[in-house]
Structure 1
Amino acid sequence: MIKNKNLISKLSLEEKASLLSGKSTWETVNVDKVIPSMFLSDGPHGLRKQSGAADHLGLNASDLATCFPTAATLANSWDAEMITQVGHALGNEAKNLDVQVVLGPGLNIKRNPLGGRNFEYYSEDPYLSGKFGAAMIRGIQSTQTIASPKHFAANSQEYRRMASNSVIDERTLRELYTTNFEIAVKEGSPKVIMSAYNQINGTYANENAYLLEDVLRKEWHFDGFVVTDWGGDNNHVAGVANGSNLVMPTLGLNGTLELVDAVNSGELQEEVIDERVDELLSVILESTAVKKSPVEINWEKQHQIAHKAAEESIVLLKNNDDILPLKKDTKVALVGDFAETPRYQGAGSSLVNTKNLETITESIKNYQLNTVGFAQGYMRANKKTNEEQLRNEAIELVKKSDVAIVFLGLDEISESEGADRKHMRIPAAQERLLDELAKTAIPLVVVLSAGSVIETPWVNQVSALVHGYLGGEAGASAMLDVLTGRHNPSGKLAETYPVKYEDTPFADEFPAKKKDSFYKEGLFVGYRYYNTTNKKVRFPFGFGLSYTTFQYADLKVNQEQVSLTITNTGTTAGAEIVQLYVGKKDSLLVRPAKELKGFTKVYLEPGESRQVTMPFDDKTFRYYNAQAHSFEIEDGNYQLYLSGNIEDVRLSSEIHVSGKKVQNQANLFPKYFSHQISDITLADFSDLYGEKLSEDNNTGILKLEQNSTISDMAFAKSWLARLVSRYLSHALKKSESRGQPNLNILFIYNMPFRAISKMTNGAVSSQMVDGMLQIVNGKFWRGLIKLVQEFYINKKKIKNRTV
């Protein structure tokens, strides 16, 4: 049913079509005195509004804003209420800057530790991701600002991100890669959803009627609008026909004419355009674009919220001999570049122009420690200039201290939008520094800054290990609060730390270098793999230490909930995160051994006890039946594990749950059923997927098409195209050597040819791109003639047709 029928009836077909593409990089189209323009802005962990020159990669300056901890950091708090507070603060800043839509939170599952945007996502677990996404959405939208969770769905790699096909069996898609969005939509009620760049089982996410219509709107009852990722439109007509409402950035007049021509030819019904426009207008007309209501920002209060969020998210991973918290007047040496120039956020579209950035070297003056000095210790990006001198200076400084606090982690080039990580180690210069410092026999407290999982083969060399992830602008004082005992750390990991990258399922296949990315591991992602196969890990999912201890007791179970009593048995006030995992040992289905189905964070004074309750919900016992295309419950007994982390089971019980009888999958998918995940072949995955799959064996010279990437020019017939490809590759390597990712080159390198027409405001038509493709495919003169002809045709079309 059309909600805005009267308004839509007054619009011409061209006016309606124009509304379904942006007006500029960040704004939607307005119709004078009838429909206002909305402003959309990046902002998963801080607002990135560009009032001046605009781009979607974080290249140009944006307005000053509070930089909150990234999603990967906030997830370690396991504190939905606090995340809602961050969302509220973020929404207020958006309102202050007249931004209607914040493009976040990021909800994608961390399928692989090397995913380039893992710092923007919450977890490897869909339940946790969904709960925290919903919390952030509620916070943002409590201010009348609109949240836009992203990227829907199965957006797992940055390499070829606009031309990659995620091949996933239906059960895995629904249990892992859409359950996160389901929880966020049902519990957060976002008004906007951003679709992903990638294809899912051969269909672009932005044209995927199963995702956008059947699942999102009909099953989950989403009543907002769908926006593309920037440049993520493949076929504008197909997108509109299958549930997408808004293409960003602008397609110029060409986008309008594509839809008008499709209606006139009968390819698209005008009623469908009316539906898409109605869904879009329903949000615009309820937004602050209609009624401006700016708020006064208390920047100090915003900073305090950022501080509290960072503090609650810090994870204590090791604390030998209770070296932490540091005692008053301890002589400490500060070592590591991050102490003076912090790594506190990611790179790319989420880059925040920070309002009030703290550093360790400045903030430590407010603490009762005897600081003997600071030594840089290493150069960023593995630059070896003066490395030995910097290392020797650090060694001499450490010898003067009682404890050395060493600041290590991933530098800017190590993790960024547009590129997946090459390995899981910290830079080699930092490892060399740590090796030498360990020889001094001075206790080492390592503080990590990183947005994603790292290997820690050096962990036995240090007395304590504290992980601040990417803590935002107030991360320095938050870390010092933990190191000195002003705050008892309560964070726990929302992702697994394997011993080494090679322990990850199908490690050598990520990222997929060709079009198809086969999700052969199925359900066995993150702890679902490590815990089920008993693979040793460095730090398990849900792990984190405290300065106090907790006792679990009095477990009670009924058909609706579990309850237990938690007691702080130590001498320090603190918080414990109680985790509920569910398993079914005698299941006839392929299943992980345990899955997270509940959690609660409990704050207790020394000696205090409290009863906590975790109710079951519709996701506690369900699985997805791919044959019936619905969620069901397998009849039988289930094990309940109340745990400090996935491996630390404190209490357990069993409950019978009524459900349906299921078909035994032992013979259908034998390797999956017996958890021989590392032995799975493409043929095994084909059985699970439901049809025969094969590798893309294209080698040598390729015929490039609209959905071929710019990087594919390395295999083009034209020597000129191959030369351009070599230049781009050289430019990328040069930026890596400088330690700063060239986001513009990265974006171009991985984008398909079709994106040229999607990212140029209509100045380049799809037909002009066809001419370019003829050139790179070895037909230089024919392609050049077509390119020039289509240029004038496009120019004339734009001149003669205006909306």
Structure 2
Amino acid sequence: MSFDVDALLAELDLDAKASLLAGQDVWTLPARPDIGLDSLVLSDGPVGVRGVRWSQDDPSVTLPSPTALAAGWDPRLAVRAGRLLAQEARRKGVHVLLAPTVNLQRSPLGGRHFECYSEDPLLTGMIGAGYVTGVQDGGVGVTVKHFVANDFETERFTADVRVGERALRELYLAPFELIVKRAKPWGIMAAYNSVNGTTMTQHAALLDGVLRGEWGFDGFVVSDWLAARDTVASANGGLDVAMPGPRTVFGARLAEAVRGGEVDESVVDDMVRRVLLLAHRTGALEGSPAAHQSEIDGDAIAREVAHRSFVLLSNETGVLPLKQPQSIALIGALAADPKILGGGSATVFPAHVVSPLDGLRKAVPPGTDLAFATGADPRTTLPPATDNFRLRAIAKAADGTRLAEFPLREAKIDWIGELPAGLDLNTLASVEIEGTYLPERTGTHTFAVTGPGDLRLTVAGRTLFDGVNLPPGGDVFTSIMQVNEQRREIDLTDGELVDVSLTYWIPSEMAEFARGSFAWVTFALGHRGPVPDPDAALEEAVALAAKSDVAVVVVGTTAEVESEGFDRTSLALPGRQDELVTRVAAVNPNTVVVVNAGSPVELPWRADVAAVLLTWFPGQAGGDALADVLFGREEPGGRLPTTWPAKLEDAPVTDVTPQEGVLEYGEGVYIGYSAYAAKGTQPAYWFGHGQGYTTWAYEELDGYPDEEGGARVRVRVRNTGKRRGREVVQLYLAPTERGDRPDRWLAGFASVEAGPGEAVETDIVITPRSAEVWRDGWQHIAGEYVLAASHSYAEPRLSTRIVLQKIR
């Protein structure tokens, strides 16, 4: 340690020390100018850096979803993404990024599946380690989350996960362990849930025993927001910082616990040491080294991560890349208004978004006509009003006094945690979205309001809604993540400007809650102009497809399907999207389906279309990346980081709902591909699957055991196609004597590139952990293994036998 932490600590009395362990507000820790300590600022990620304001007026570079980053199977790409985010954090004055999420994709129904990397702990850990390395290279801290077994959303605040020690060690703790040992993160976030009866924010056995004791973690542990519940148990259980403030279990309450003899002051001293170390590492302490400055093009990184993540699930007819067709039909509401990121705390606000329609319009070759039709709209709620609306937000006090005004790009307010500068939780009573709308079409326009509480909507001088908006039987708090929409219709005339106003009164329950620590002002004005009925929209799309050379149909999920706060109940595409694909494919043999989803969905028509391209939630540059891939300027470089079931009932784990507060992980170590194999179930697409625009021959595989029980492996592959491409070489180990282990498991991987006809070699390290099992401690299972170099879990190309044995 290059600074004298004990000297700094000696300058603080008990109350000052305890204050450094509690948030002073939602996103910051208090400053101590007397010791040269600035206020530490924390911010949500992981696809961008939101900063301390949940607001459109503070835009952020928006990368593709974590599932997309993992689909690149390239830790080096994750490092580069992390460095960009560090640059964004420094631009916004942020010291610590609340990311990455390295919980496992235990079930496809997990609502936050899109924010996690993979079903496999090795792939998760390697991508996470790359991300952490990149962020911290830029002098910005991370909090690897959510420690641990927070792999579901239903009752996540209170549920007790019952998981066996072996599964806990081999699966759920494994990515955290790999990241701690390889990337040395500066922070860990303790989850809301309990594990085997103990709340994670006070789980001494895991926080102090495993994380710090066994793994040597030297960073700080912060609670998930509002997760810390008990002062004494949290302090003695290994938690360092309780967020958000100003009301937390630490601060003054911690000082009282020390004076009362319930917490030893030496425990507080250690907690403060870790916070001061964080401040030193992030440049928030006087005399700390300055962070390395870089100039990274955010759009370029967002575009590269996107096309590197796209997974070509099928391309049997070779329709992709497109061979300059004379006409392209682009179909689907998500082509014009894509889902670029998942909902919840992962939300950031990009300065601009390139939709598939935007991207193809810019890139379509000369001589090719591009036409668009909606076909089917999967959204169950209307999108926020944007086009032809001129809007602002007006914040008011209880007496109607205007407190502040803000311009709006779209008719949506999301002030969560902190309010915009100049507003105070104690005086804000209402917010109005106010402005004008110039209709482009005469006819019936539909307006919609969302937001938990009292709302009044007025359009063209008519009050369309005035009342309380809550789900049936709901209250303000349970409805925060459950969108409830009220729709109203009004006839408007093309070219006649109308006034629009939506006022939201902050509910008294939320106001009282906000006084303490956390603002939550979220509501929106949705709009849809005159549209044909759903049957007519489908017919229009089918007719367009029938007369076009190629039909590109964009389908996917919505904010009502994939978000933090709730788990999924179905893997079916919402709305009439399946019908749309089936009908388009029936009239156009060159139908390409683009799947805009963050996690698995059912694709019942997959064998009936020419190609299926998975683009995940592709971030702000997704449309440009899609055009790059469709027209062959770039290769779809992704491989699946999770197994996709043909239908929900085929998924081996679908239990994400606690029973009487308990969620049993009864499947043990069998999740993902190992569970499919154990059950003999054929998925739609296996873990690791993905095609490119070239072909590969696997020529040589050599494995060399080392003395520690691992191996060094060399693989030689050749590009046998006609264009440059990328291959992900995947290594799987299969014990010749299986015992109570899966059939085989991922033991290493590497990505390679080569031109047509070129051969390339790659060296991959298999660590001793790949041959270890947890049985009251890690036991190395010596013996013979089949080592397979594979294109995916189900596609071994070369195999050899290797004996792994610890000699040292």
TM-score range with shorter-chain normalisation? 0.7 to 0.9
The residue aligned with 2:346 is 350
Q: How many Å separate the matches in 2 of 1:346 and 1:520?
A: 28
Residues 381-396 of structure 1 aligned to structure 2 (within 5 Å):
381-382=379-380, 386-396=533-543
Q: Is the 8 Å Cα contact of residues 532 and 594 (structure 1) preserved in structure 2?
A: no
The residue aligned with 2:714 is 563
The residue aligned with 2:186 is 191
Deviation at 1:513, TM superposition (A): 4.3
Instruction: Give the gaps of 5 or more residues in structure 2.
Output: 382-530, 706-710
Q: How many Å separate the matches in 1 of 2:292 and 2:56?
A: 23
Q: How many Å separate the matches in 2 of 1:491 and 1:253?
A: 43
Q: Is the 8 Å Cα contact of residues 589 and 609 (structure 2) preserved in structure 1?
A: no
Paired amino acid for 1:373: A
Deviation at 1:363, TM superposition (A): 1.9
Residues 163-178 of structure 1 aligned to structure 2 (within 5 Å):
163-178=158-173
Deviation at 1:531, TM superposition (A): 2.1
Q: Is the 8 Å Cα contact of residues 546 and 584 (structure 2) preserved in structure 1?
A: no
Deviations 1:80-106 (A, max 9, x none): 111111110110110111100011111
Q: Aligned with 2:216: secondary structure?
A: coil
Residues 127-526 of structure 1 aligned to structure 2 (within 5 Å):
127-252=122-247, 255-290=250-285, 301-369=297-365, 370-382=368-380, 386-507=533-654, 509-526=655-672
Deviations 1:673-700 (A, max 9, x none): xxxxxxxxxxxxxxxxxxxxxxxxxxxx
What percentage of aligned pairs have identical amino acids?
35
The residue aligned with 1:738 is none
Q: How many Å separate the matches in 2 of 1:296 and 1:435?
A: 51
Deviation at 1:652, TM superposition (A): 1.1
Deviations 1:743-777 (A, max 9, x none): xxxxxxxxxxxxxxxxxxxxxxxxxxxxxxxxxxx
Q: Aligned with 2:238: secondary structure?
A: coil
Q: Is the 8 Å Cα contact of residues 98 and 294 (structure 1) preserved in structure 2?
A: no
The residue aligned with 1:778 is none
Q: Is the 8 Å Cα contact of residues 121 and 175 (structure 2) preserved in structure 1?
A: yes
Are 1:616 and 2:763 counterparts?
A: no
Q: How many Å separate the matches in 2 of 1:417 and 1:461?
A: 33
Q: How many Å separate the matches in 1 of 2:584 and 2:100?
A: 40
Instruction: Name whichever of 488-497 and 371-380 sits farther off.
Output: 371-380
Q: Aligned with 1:655: secondary structure?
A: strand
Are 1:27 and 2:28 counterparts?
A: yes
Deviations 1:86-144 (A, max 9, x none): 11011011011110001111100011001111111100000000000000011111111
Paired amino acid for 1:321: T
The residue aligned with 2:42 is 40
Paired amino acid for 1:374: F
Deviations 1:337-376 (A, max 9, x none): 1111111111111111102311222221332442341111
Distance 1:319 1:496, change over 3 A: same
Deviation at 1:436, TM superposition (A): 2.3
Q: Is the 8 Å Cα contact of residues 379 and 575 (structure 2) preserved in structure 1?
A: no
Deviation at 1:442, TM superposition (A): 4.2
Q: How many Å separate the matches in 2 of 1:3 and 1:296?
A: 26
Q: How many Å separate the matches in 1 of 2:164 and 2:337?
A: 45
Count matched residues: 647
Are 1:64 and 2:211 counterparts?
A: no
Deviations 1:455-497 (A, max 9, x none): 1112122111000101111111111111111112221000000
The residue aligned with 1:540 is 686
Q: Is the 8 Å Cα contact of residues 138 and 292 (structure 2) preserved in structure 1?
A: no
Deviation at 1:191, TM superposition (A): 0.5
Q: How many Å separate the matches in 2 of 1:86 and 1:217?
A: 28
Are 1:584 and 2:735 counterparts?
A: yes
Q: Aligned with 1:214: secondary structure?
A: helix
Are 1:572 and 2:703 counterparts?
A: no
Q: How many Å separate the matches in 2 of 1:127 and 1:433?
A: 38
The residue aligned with 2:17 is 16
The residue aligned with 1:759 is none
Paired amino acid for 1:624: W
Q: Is the 8 Å Cα contact of residues 634 and 659 (structure 1) preserved in structure 2?
A: no
The residue aligned with 1:607 is 757
Q: Aligned with 2:791: secondary structure?
A: strand
Q: Is the 8 Å Cα contact of residues 325 and 549 (structure 2) preserved in structure 1?
A: no
Higher share in helix: 1
Deviations 1:307-361 (A, max 9, x none): 0110100000011210111012441001011111111111111111102311222
Paired amino acid for 2:599: S
Q: Is the 8 Å Cα contact of residues 3 and 278 (structure 1) preserved in structure 2?
A: no
Instruction: Give the gaps of 5 or more residues in structure 1.
Output: 52-57, 661-803
Instruction: Name whichever of 358-367 and 494-503 sits farther off.
Output: 358-367
Q: How many Å separate the matches in 2 of 1:586 and 1:283?
A: 47
Q: Is the 8 Å Cα contact of residues 106 and 121 (structure 1) preserved in structure 2?
A: yes
Q: Aligned with 1:320: secondary structure?
A: coil
The residue aligned with 1:748 is none
Deviation at 1:259, TM superposition (A): 1.4
Point out which structure has higher relative CO (alpha carbons under 8 A, 6+ apart).
2
Distance 1:434 1:253, change over 3 A: closer
Deviation at 1:438, TM superposition (A): 2.7
Deviation at 1:592, TM superposition (A): 0.8
The residue aligned with 1:773 is none
Deviations 1:169-209 (A, max 9, x none): 00110000011001111111110111111100011111111
Paired amino acid for 2:34: K
Q: How many Å separate the matches in 1 of 2:659 and 2:51?
A: 34
Instruction: Name whichever of 632-641 and 150-159 sits farther off.
Output: 632-641
Deviation at 1:253, TM superposition (A): 7.3
Q: Is the 8 Å Cα contact of residues 126 and 179 (structure 1) preserved in structure 2?
A: yes
TM, length-normalised to structure 1: 0.78
Q: How many Å separate the matches in 1 of 2:154 and 2:334?
A: 28
Q: How many Å separate the matches in 2 of 1:484 and 1:406?
A: 15
Q: How many Å separate the matches in 1 of 2:281 and 2:635?
A: 43
Q: How many Å separate the matches in 2 of 1:244 and 1:189?
A: 18
Deviation at 1:554, TM superposition (A): 1.9
TM, length-normalised to structure 2: 0.78
Q: Is the 8 Å Cα contact of residues 50 and 63 (structure 1) preserved in structure 2?
A: no
Paired amino acid for 1:405: V
Paired amino acid for 2:681: K
The residue aligned with 2:72 is 77
The residue aligned with 1:698 is none
Deviations 1:246-278 (A, max 9, x none): 011014376323212222222111111111111
Q: Is the 8 Å Cα contact of residues 784 and 801 (structure 2) preserved in structure 1?
A: yes
Q: Is the 8 Å Cα contact of residues 107 and 653 (structure 2) preserved in structure 1?
A: no
Distance 1:505 1:250, change over 3 A: same
Distance 1:230 1:62, change over 3 A: farther
Distance 1:294 1:266, change over 3 A: closer
Q: What do you get for the CA RMSD once the two structures are aligned?
A: 2.0
Q: Aligned with 1:311: secondary structure?
A: helix
Q: Is the 8 Å Cα contact of residues 163 and 197 (structure 1) preserved in structure 2?
A: yes
Distance 1:488 1:286, change over 3 A: closer
Q: How many Å separate the matches in 2 of 1:407 and 1:105?
A: 29
Q: Aligned with 1:317: secondary structure?
A: strand
Deviations 1:497-541 (A, max 9, x none): 01111122352x322243110000000000011123321110000
